[in-house]
Homo-oligomer: A and B are copies of this chain.
Amino acid sequence: MTNKTESSDHFKHFCGVAGIISDYEVNIPEMLFYPLFALQHRGQESCGISYKRHGRVTTYKHLGMVSSVLSHYLKEQHPSFLGIGHVRYSTHGGNKLENAQPVFASTNKGEIALAHNGNISNSEAIRTRLMDEGSIVQSTSDTELMLHLIARSRKKDIVDALVETFNQCEGAYSLVIMHEDTLIAVRDPHGFRPLVYGKKDGMTAFTSETCALDVLDIPFVRELEPGEMMLRNRSGSTTVQFAKSTRKSQCMFELIYFSRPDSFHFGVSVHQARKKLGELIAEAEDIDCDIVCPVPDSGNIAAIGYSVAAGKPFDLGLTRNHYTGRTFIQPIPEQREFNVRMKLHPIAAAIKGKKVMLIDDSLVRGTTSQTIVKMLRDAGAKEIHLRLSSPEIKSPCYFGIDIPTREELISNRLTPSQIASHIGADSVRFLGIDSLKRCVSNPGDFCYSCFTGSYPFDIKDPAKRRKN
């Protein structure tokens, strides 16, 4: 139940990364296939790997899903010690292969391949400066800019050069880097995005989420600390705290929607956090219902939490068709309602004549919800109350989420009761920020800026294009 509805009214995730180093030769491309497959929910547009064999780096990346792009590696042998991989999110643009990752370059620091999850919020300034200084920029990705900074650093030591680079980059970056024979993992000082590592039998793996370690059967050790850079080669591993401790700003949406429910990071189980969100909605509830239904699959776990806390029966009032394939992956905007109808179907027998408490994770444009409410109404629901397991989204994210413009965000235009009448629901309520904070034990370590508009630091170029 981890699929994300491509055509739905959700945030877009940005990316997922994985890196593996082994003391003995293994089939690195195959070893990368599994965690990337497990991270597919973090990006479906393109995927790729870089690995080292006989001293040469091979990079293979392509538009498409892991199971098709990289499947040939399940049959081929590429004995190797070291490699990194990446999945990239889905946009509606054209041929974006030039933005696929890992990005590989030869530099004066040696050969470097880099895979990035996140977003550099001052990248426009960096890009302009680099171009002023005579660099050529071949993509629109932040990742290429980082390689430029590493290459341009006067520091001869790679660690020094990396630290100098990161000191220039503001924003979110969970990175895996292949530099010569060393695997390097980096998490930005605010820790916006998750990055975990595990070890087993002379093998170390870094992945965006623990679910990607699980599929390798590599035991989780711990999350990288914000501002931590870990280096691992065949001589061993070292860790560098390259930035002073700042306030953590872990992305709350990783818990609300992005991460897979079986993952554990930011000190919490994603599944438990989502269930808690459902309980917190129920706690504030004052409207009675006959059944609690999720919008599948994004509302599933919160709906379970709500059901238990409210003592109301959980049921599936909507079923989801997963056989969507490529046809519906790149819809034109007018097709949104069509796409929703091809994916979600009301189960009249479950909802007819019922007061339905409908649980979803968030409301972005409100388009999908409108279609869903109409379907449920047509199928005979007596009342439809929509509850969101997140607060109203009002501000852009500069740290790795592809958010619509302020104008497109429905919560900037309408109050909850106006939204209810706009989408045809009997009521619409969002989780309050105070309630949201109660779903974790360390609420001060999280970023709430898409709800509050208050960012962890001053964003210098708020008009910048969204990218990477």
Residue of B nearest to A137 (CB): B106
Given contacts A138-B104, A327-B67, contact A2 B147 (CB under 8 A): no
User: B104, A132: Cβ atoms under 8 Å?
Assistant: no
Contact status of A304 and B296, CB under 8 A, knowing A262-B319, A319-B260, A349-B271: no
CA distance A308 to B66 in the complex (A): 39
Most buried by B among A107, A151, A319: A319
CB <8 Å contact, B68 and A326: yes
B-chain residues with CB within 8 Å of residue A262 when the two chains form the complex: 319, 345-349
Q: Which residues of B contact A147 (CB under 8 A)?
A: 136
The minimal Cβ–Cβ distance linking A271 to chain B, given in whole angstroms, is: 5
Report whether B313 and A308 are in contact in the complex, using a CB–CB cutoff of 8 Å. yes
Query: Are A348 and B67 within 8 A (Cβ)?
Result: no
Collect the chain B residues with CB atoms within 8 Å of residue A1's CB: 1, 296-297, 316, 319-320
A354 sits at the interface (CB 8 A): no
Min distance, Cβ A8 to any Cβ of chain B, angstroms: 14
A300 cross-chain contacts in B, Cβ below 8 A: 316
Known: A296-B1, A319-B261, A346-B262. A135 touches B135 (CB 8 A): yes
The answer to whether A101 has its CB under 8 Å from any CB of chain B is: no
Interfacial residues of chain A within 71-128, with CB under 8 A of chain B in the complex: 71, 74, 94-95, 97-98, 103-108
Contact partner, A342, options B37, B144, B341, Cβ 8 Å = B37
Which residues of chain A from 122 to 171 have a CB within 8 Å of any chain B CB? 131-132, 134-138, 144, 147-148, 150-153
User: Which residues in B have their C-beta under 8 angstroms from that of A348?
Assistant: 262, 264, 269
The one of B41, B323, B342 in contact with A3, judged by C-beta atoms closer than 8 angstroms, is: B323
* Residue A395, interface by CB 8 Å: no
Which residues on the B side are within 8 Å of A67 (C-beta)?
323-328
**Of A144, A153, A264, A271, which is in contact with the most chain B CB atoms at under 10 Å from its CB?**
A271
A244 at the B interface (CB under 8 A): no
- A106: chain B residues within 8 A (beta carbon): 131, 136-138
Question: Restricting to A212-234, which residues have a CB under 8 Å from any CB of B?
Answer: 214-215
Q: State whether A349 and B269 are in contact (beta carbons under 8 Å apart), knowing that A68-B327, A321-B2, A328-B67 are contacts in the complex.
A: yes
- Interchain CA distance A66-B251 in the complex, whole Å: 38
A70 to B: closest C-beta gap in Å: 9
A60 pairs with B95, CB closer than 8 A: yes
A296 cross-chain contacts in B, Cβ below 8 A: 1
* Residue A182 at the chain B interface, CB threshold 8 Å: no
Chain B nearest CB, measured from A452 CB (Å): 28
Interface centre among A68, A150, A321, A326 (most CB of B within 10 A): A321
Q: Which of A332-357 contact B (CB under 8 A)?
A: 341-342, 345-350
Is A44 part of the binding interface, using a Cβ–Cβ cutoff of 8 Å?
Answer: yes
A38 at the interface (CB under 8 A from B): yes
Residue A207 at the chain B interface, CB threshold 8 Å: no
Instruction: List, in ascending order, chain B residues with CB within 8 A of A321's CB.
Output: 2-3, 37-38, 40-41
- Asked if A425 CB lies within 8 Å of chain B CBs, one says no
Q: Are A323 and B41 in contact (CB under 8 A)?
A: yes
Contacts of A136 in B (CB 8 A): 105-107, 135, 144, 147-148, 150-151
Asked if A301 CB lies within 8 Å of chain B CBs, one says: yes
Docked-complex contact B105 and A137, CB < 8 angstroms: yes
Docked complex: A304-325 residues within 8 A CB-CB of B: 304, 307-308, 313-316, 319-325
Q: Say whether A371 faces chain B, with CB atoms less than 8 Å apart.
A: no
A residues engaging B (CB < 8 A)?
1-3, 34, 37-38, 40-41, 44, 58-60, 65-68, 71, 74, 94-95, 97-98, 103-108, 131-132, 134-138, 144, 147-148, 150-153, 211, 214-215, 260-262, 264, 269-272, 275, 296-297, 300-301, 304, 307-308, 313-316, 319-328, 341-342, 345-350
Q: Which 10 pairs across A and B sit closest by C-beta, in order of nearness?
A: A269-B349, A67-B325, A134-B152, A105-B136, A3-B322, A40-B323, A67-B327, A71-B327, A262-B347, A106-B137
